[in-house]
Structure 1
Amino acid sequence: MSQGVKENPFPFRGLTAQEVSGSRAVHGQNTIEDNHSGFFWYNLKEIVREPMFLLLLATSIIYFILREFSEGFFLLGAIVLISAISFYQNARSKKALSALKEYTQSLSTVIRDKQLQKIKSEEIVVDDVVVANEGELITADGVLLQQNDFLVNESILTGESLSIAKTIEDPDKNLVYKGTAVVSGQGVYRVTQIGKATKLGRINTSLSEIEKIRSPLQQQISRFVKQMAIGGFLIFLVIWGISFYNSRDVFDSLLKGLTIAMSVLPEEIPVAFATFMALGAYRLMKLGIIVKHTQTIETLGSATVICTDKTGTITQNKMELFKVYDHKTGRTAEKDHWKESEFQNIIRIAMWASEIVPFDPMERSIHKAYKTFSTEDERPKFSMVHEYPLGGKPPMMTHIFENAEGKRIIAVKGAPEAVINHSGLSNAEKEKIMTEISRMASKGFRVLGVGEAFFDGKDFPEKQEEFKFEFLGLVGFYDPPKENINETLQHLYNAGIRIKLITGDNPATTHTIARLVNLQGSNDAVTGEELMNLNQEEFDRKVSQASVFSRIFPEIKVKIVNSLKRQHEIVGMTGDGVNDAPALKAAHIGIAMGRRGSDLAKESSSLILSDDDFGKMVDGVAMGRKIYYNLKKAIQYIISIHIPIILTVALPVILGWVYPVIFSPVHVIFLELIMGPTCSIIYENEPLEKNSMLKPPRAMDQTFLRWKELSVSVFQGLMITAVCLGIYQYSVLHMYSEDLTRTMVFSTLIVANIFLTLVNRSFYFSIWTTFKYKNSLIWVIISVSFVILLFMVYNPGLGSFFKLEPMATNQLLIVLVAGFASVIWFEIYKAIIRRRKPLKLFSSEILETGKGIIR
């Protein structure tokens, strides 16, 4: 569907609606298809390859061989149920990621029915006429029809970072390719190939392929699960060997071995990880933060430094033309008071030095000011004959226009120092102008120099610096800080994240804005020119110390990012322009702006702020930490509850106790069906704890699978094991039957699991505090688990199937007290932690951080 229709200034009519439909019918959509033949079959293949599936299938076959059909059919039902749960969780993740991709769908400008239209890039068809502007991506393969200083970066295809000048005349340089980026100028091309038929499609370097790279956390989880699988296989061999030695029954021994193997496998962990990441990305999208790669969510919680630009991020990006300085008279005029011709001429020349269709806020402001006094718009009478794009150190840009009579305008604007240095001014004149620049900058104005030149002939200089410019004056823009920026920065500081302000503006203006927003270390400033003269050691030291960077060139931004990375910082970088793309790509977290950001900046980033609100970074960091800490809770819960299952199954067999088969595969599978929803649904839905944004960032190589974290989980598991085995011995001592002993041990483990779920909602705050957390799902799942347990115990049919026996009231009370006692001791441990490390809130408003993340 068309997103907007505009008047067409190009000499091309484009396709009609009927021609578009015909082309789409032949060539299809402009998408690079997923490699998977279908969601259902792909997931079915993945499920069948899971070790737990194979164990269940093998166990059910053995039951059928032993003619124990009810158990065999139960396990087949469990396979179906577990597969259905897996399908549901994968479908939730797929739906979240599909919504994410839909939200990030890029738009393209096409000419159809003689009008300019904005459409989704996937709707482009063969023979469409597409207009590509600076900062945008080429969305299909095509051949150039028209171009103006059209430079394209094709590194995604060739690996070469140098831009290529495209021309219509040269058959080797008139082709454009999907996925490449427009560095400067404008081009109009006719589409020749779309989707998988494009060069990019044929070599299959789509975004979905990039997302398959495993993150450090994924690798840690995979390694842990593999180690547990190997351990499970070894324990299986031990249990099978002991059982076979004692009974000489192959199938019975296999059942015991398979039971222990099922209890060891922590297959819930990879599922929980995938669910947490996909739903986290979806939640961020709802907050206006578009995460292009789910592994970015991990990195968000570890960010130690955020490098941000000034305009539009720290400030409002209004860039209103507020002051004009005339060099000849030394006079200044403020907004709406430039009636004198000298001020109007400076604005007029600044307008000619701007883009014809302005995108930059300053250029839009210049065009707007020009319209306030021009009685006749002279622009339609002139055509651009040559353009020198923004460049140099410091940068400036020059445009050359000419009308039919041969009248020529050569206009330049840019950093005042650049225009001054190429204007042939005396030292006294330069000093006078620099004084005015300092005066304007100290009040927070962003200042540009304006000049003009005169040149006869058509053989224009190769570089704009070769012109002899006449310096006309200065234009000053005021862009006030955003209203919430001070609070945003304070929240990030509280979270242990340093902020570095990096801008191309002059030092005085940058320092003024930094002071207004209370940027920490605003007096520690450095310029791009100063950094250029330092060796690597001095460069790194200066980058680490400084908080304000002014007159920074694009290539210096990349060096700053790499310097911070060398110093083991986790770096976030904001940007919106074409020149920001390398720094965005180099940063751990490239943060592009959704509204004002170029397509190239968005493509190079890993995260997009859809409404350009830097305050959303607080939400992003909070969500990253929430997901990490909740995943940590889920995994520690899984480890804690697996230990008593493993030991309760293994020890009676190994030690030759009176009832060696206390749990069979059906009991283990029932426990698995409880644990799966608990870790993937309950903990994923937990809110952000109020101390999470007051902790320093975690190291990227830090894992919750370290012994410090594992020891807590292992101890919790051993305590539950001790209580369960104590109940076992209590039952034997009182000469209870095997079924009643199994019932009491099984019920104790379920009750312990319920209380463990509640206790592990926080590893710092008490259970009474966590009762206030908004998470209705926890009570639903716990209630269902408890009701099913009672039904299994007291329903004769189910009790017979699971080999359970109804408990008397005093026995049920013992089970409840024992299950509660096996985990409640952890509250004492947490109380000791709180006493040693009391929580200090920096602000009463810190609990509101996250706007919806903390519920």
Structure 2
Amino acid sequence: DESSLTGESASIKKTTSALASETLLADRNNMAYMGTSVATGRAVGIVVNIGMETQLGRIASDIVGSVAPKTPLENKLESLGKFLGIVALVVAVLMVAIKMIIAYGDETANLKEVAVEQFIVAIAIFVAIVPEGLPIILVITLALGMRNMARHKAIIRRMKAVETLGSTTVICSDKTGTLTKNQMTARQLTTTEGTFTISGEGFKPQGDLSYNGNVVTESELSGYQSDLAFRLSAACLSLCHNSQISKVDGQWQALGDPTDSACAVLGWKINGNVRKFAQRHSRLHEFFFDTTRKRMSVIHDYEGERWVFSKGGAGGYVKLVDWKIKDGQIVPIEKKDFDLASVANKEMAGQAMRVIALCARRLEDGEDMEDVNTVESSFIFLGLVGIMDPPRAEVKDAIEVCQRAGIRVKMITGDQQYTAEAIGRELNITEGGMPPVNGSALSGFNDEQLSEASNQASIFSRVTPEQKMRIVSSLQEQGEIVAMTGDGVNDAPALSRANIGIAMGIAGTDVAKDAADMVLQDDNFANIVHAVEEGRKIYQNIRNFVRYQVSTNVAAVALIIISTFLFGWNLPLTATQILVINILMDGPPAVALGVEKNHGDVMNQPPRPVDEGMPNFRDITLIFYLGAVMVTGTLIVFFLAGGGVDTCELHPLQNADEAEFDVALCTAGLLANEGEITSEQSAAIAASEEYHAGLFDHAQTMTFSVFIVYQLFNVMNCRSNKESAFKLGIFSNQW
């Protein structure tokens, strides 16, 4: 069983024949590999590699050497941080430089006082323009996203995966154990009396038989069991195997050859518990399966007689079958019967099914049951069983949702091409401008050919772990955000290299889980859709709180620059007020935006462009629009509250009669030369300064209050790009 290494569900028959050195891993049937298991038989081998030189060791080396790229959000926020830092530095330096140059040309100016004042302004600009709380808010938002994903059985091992899922443009998935359950299942039973389809998944002995599209009821099944062909077929399935089907920790498991197990499960669906059935019909002798005969035969005491039940490759029975069952009677088989069986065989093989023939015969008294040539002769042909590793029930719908969301799904498997194509057709993973590509062709591709194949082909078969990693890397070089899903050791390098690796929690190996960023606890592929939806929602919320924070910071900086540089006023906000705005009014509202519910169907929208900025052009437009509204309103309030009043000047809404000082004496005192100021003028100037100080404190308080009110309206406005807060519900977000 090499499924964990190559992805092929069926057991591989091993030989001692020499093979070409360039033979692909999955086709090297003269080698046994570390980490695989023996299904049947025994052998003696020569150890040719150990440790890191084994296939497992090479895979481990690929994992260690693989460096996952930065997430799109990391790159965008890093760019945003650098940009804001540069803007803050440039604006602060220009402000200080221009003010100092002006002061240097003014003989009456005190350069030291101007320098101290401008230093405070520069610090205020730095504090106002840099969103200090953004990293903390980002971590909180991603952590809450991890919690939400865990509710859908998606365990995030690395926090970056939360956001990356929302950026995913391509999902590359292994087949065996991911799109399928890696449990061979009988899907069709064709007897000489008709064809039955079988439902159910994996080793779980529960499912329905359908005849001509109609589910067979229990009473109808009893009727079929009275039919000799059907009854003998069911007995052959229930007795001719060496598998053990059992329930362990709530999961149905099979011990033995996958083909044996599939037949045993089908026998259970028809006859009930196969262990009890075998106990009622004791085994007398057995001829084990071998690669020469390509069949297995057993002799059981069945219905009071010795019966031989045999199963194996259909081609091996052509010369051994003499009889068939028609209308409940055993009659000679005809050439047309072989032709019909051949057609059924080809039809099932075309659906990626492994076809097993079922035969039986009754041993006459005196026949030697230990002579294989005697026993395996003059068989009655019972029918054919089609076995495959079927897709998981939830996968097809999940893939449709992904495709509707603009996410391309590609199958990358080590299994045979015809099997991959059949599963691809069933799951609708057949879109693309290139037919399926196999590993042999892939090994000869240069970088340009690989780039074309990875972009256009949807199915890759017979690929090695190294080739899986090459495909993922090629897609990343084309600007795609790649999610890789898998469960086996052979998937680990690609899981590690992908932007986000997703491993199966139940069927997945420890190596795959360790290499992954996310683990699906219940192996449900559909949970990837929930995770992508959560990731998109989180990214949208991050955009919303970035827009909120940056628009607030732009307004605060513009307020400082316009009031101090253009109008020559003092700072409209104190350093403490700026800190309160940045810490208290930036943080909690931004966290609330980070947990905003999903508005609209994000899964009906295409993935956002990889090169889209954070913020994008639309966000930047909104940021400056919102900032302009806040600055304009706040400046008006600051001015009307008396923030622009200088010494000896009155509040804009007051007249001279209402003044608390003599404006004329105060003005004359300011214009008088030193030593010529009268006591009345000095008193008027002192009263003006006291009046001005109280007025300015009042103006700063009013400005602070109005700015906070603007922020409250702004945070409501930033909850959605399209819907108003009234439509969303003012209190729908309890945070």
Partner of 1:685: 595
2:80 aligns with one of 188, 200, 224:
224
1:602 aligns with one of 494, 498, 513:
513
Secondary structure of the corresponding residue to residue 436 of structure 2:
strand
2:158 aligns with one of 285, 293, 304:
293
C-alpha distance in 1 between matches for 2:50 and 2:597: 44
Deviations 1:403-437, CA, capped at 9 Å, x for gaps:
xxxxxxxxxx99x89x99xxxxxxxxx99998554
CA pair 372-678 structure 1, distance change in 2 beyond 3 A: same
Deviations 1:331-388, CA, capped at 9 Å, x for gaps:
999999584799579954899xxxx98489766445666857655999xx9999xx99
- Say if 1:350 and 1:366, in contact at 8 Å, map to a contact too: no
Partner of 2:605: 695
Give the C-alpha shift of residue 574 in structure 1. Answer: 2.1
Secondary structure of the corresponding residue to residue 306 of structure 1:
strand
- Once superposed, what is the RMSD of the aligned Cα atoms? 5.4
C-alpha distance in 2 between matches for 1:529 and 1:267: 50
Partner of 1:581: 492
Deviations 1:564-616, CA, capped at 9 Å, x for gaps:
44544332232212222233334333221111111122122222111111111
C-alpha distance in 2 between matches for 1:342 and 1:603: 44
1:446 aligns with one of 344, 350, 353:
353
1:255 aligns with one of 117, 120, 142:
120
Deviations 1:167-194, CA, capped at 9 Å, x for gaps:
xxxxxxxxxxxx969x9xxxxxxxxxxx
Residue 662 of structure 1 pairs with residue 572 of structure 2 = yes
Deviations 1:502-538, CA, capped at 9 Å, x for gaps:
4566666655555555556399752627845874455
Secondary structure of the corresponding residue to residue 579 of structure 1:
helix
- Say if 2:485 and 2:501, in contact at 8 Å, map to a contact too: yes
| 734-743 or 258-267, larger mean C-alpha shift | 734-743
| 727-736 or 635-644, larger mean C-alpha shift | 727-736
Residue 776 of structure 1 pairs with residue 641 of structure 2 = no
C-alpha distance in 2 between matches for 1:677 and 1:152: 58
C-alpha distance in 2 between matches for 1:620 and 1:316: 21
1:641 aligns with one of 512, 533, 552:
552
- Say if 1:275 and 1:680, in contact at 8 Å, map to a contact too: no
Q: Which amino acid in 2 is paired with 1:224? A: L
Residues matched between the structures, number: 536
- Say if 1:593 and 1:612, in contact at 8 Å, map to a contact too: yes
Give the C-alpha shift of residue 648 in structure 1. Answer: 1.9
CA pair 280-363 structure 1, distance change in 2 beyond 3 A: farther
Deviations 1:655-694, CA, capped at 9 Å, x for gaps:
353x413211111111113333345411111112214222
Deviations 1:106-156, CA, capped at 9 Å, x for gaps:
xxxxxxxxxxxxxxxxxxxxxxxxxxx9489xxxxxxxxxx999999966x
Deviations 1:293-347, CA, capped at 9 Å, x for gaps:
2222232122222233445544566643456899xx9x99999958479957995
C-alpha distance in 1 between matches for 2:340 and 2:415: 20
1:74-473 superposed matches below 5 A: 134=35, 162-163=55-56, 215-237=71-93, 239=95, 242=99, 246-247=109-110, 248-249=112-113, 252-310=117-175, 313-314=178-179, 319-321=184-186, 339=232, 347-348=240-241, 358=255, 364-365=261-262, 371=275, 436-442=344-350, 444=351, 446-447=353-354
Q: Which amino acid in 1 is paired with 2:703? A: V
C-alpha distance in 2 between matches for 1:611 and 1:513: 21
CA pair 740-559 structure 1, distance change in 2 beyond 3 A: closer
Percentage of pairs with the same residue: 26
Residue 763 of structure 1 pairs with residue 619 of structure 2 = no
Residue 712 of structure 1 pairs with residue 622 of structure 2 = yes
- Say if 1:268 and 1:679, in contact at 8 Å, map to a contact too: no
Deviations 1:804-841, CA, capped at 9 Å, x for gaps:
xxxxxxxxxxxxxxxxxxxxxxxxxxxxxxxxxxxxxx
Q: TM-score, normalised by structure 1?
A: 0.52
Partner of 1:612: 523
C-alpha distance in 2 between matches for 1:217 and 1:673: 23
1:499 aligns with one of 399, 406, 409:
409
| 314-323 or 637-646, larger mean C-alpha shift | 314-323
Residue 652 of structure 1 pairs with residue 559 of structure 2 = no
C-alpha distance in 1 between matches for 2:637 and 2:470: 64
Structure of greater relative contact order (alpha carbons < 8 Å, 6+ residues apart): 2
Deviations 1:18-64, CA, capped at 9 Å, x for gaps:
xxxxxxxxxxxxxxxxxxxxxxxxxxxxxxxxxxxxxxxxxxxxxxx
Partner of 2:675: none
CA pair 148-761 structure 1, distance change in 2 beyond 3 A: farther
Secondary structure of the corresponding residue to residue 167 of structure 2:
coil
CA pair 588-672 structure 1, distance change in 2 beyond 3 A: closer
Q: Which amino acid in 1 is paired with 2:653? A: H
- Say if 1:232 and 1:265, in contact at 8 Å, map to a contact too: yes
- Say if 1:152 and 1:164, in contact at 8 Å, map to a contact too: no
Secondary structure of the corresponding residue to residue 776 of structure 1:
coil
Give the C-alpha shift of residue 740 in structure 1. Answer: 3.1
Residue 722 of structure 1 pairs with residue 632 of structure 2 = yes
Q: Which amino acid in 2 is paired with 1:288? A: K
CA pair 434-524 structure 1, distance change in 2 beyond 3 A: farther
Q: TM-score, normalised by structure 2?
A: 0.59
CA pair 564-573 structure 1, distance change in 2 beyond 3 A: same
- Say if 1:526 and 1:546, in contact at 8 Å, map to a contact too: yes
Give the C-alpha shift of residue 549 in structure 1. Answer: 4.8
Secondary structure of the corresponding residue to residue 506 of structure 2:
coil
1:676 aligns with one of 586, 597, 612:
586
- Say if 1:687 and 1:773, in contact at 8 Å, map to a contact too: no
C-alpha distance in 2 between matches for 1:558 and 1:432: 44
Q: Which structure's CA Rg is the greater one?
A: 2
Give the C-alpha shift of residue 476 in structure 1. Answer: 3.0
Partner of 1:734: 653
Secondary structure of the corresponding residue to residue 574 of structure 1:
strand
- Say if 1:277 and 1:297, in contact at 8 Å, map to a contact too: yes
Give the C-alpha shift of residue 279 in structure 1. Answer: 2.7
C-alpha distance in 2 between matches for 1:716 and 1:359: 68
C-alpha distance in 2 between matches for 1:148 and 1:282: 50
C-alpha distance in 1 between matches for 2:640 and 2:563: 14
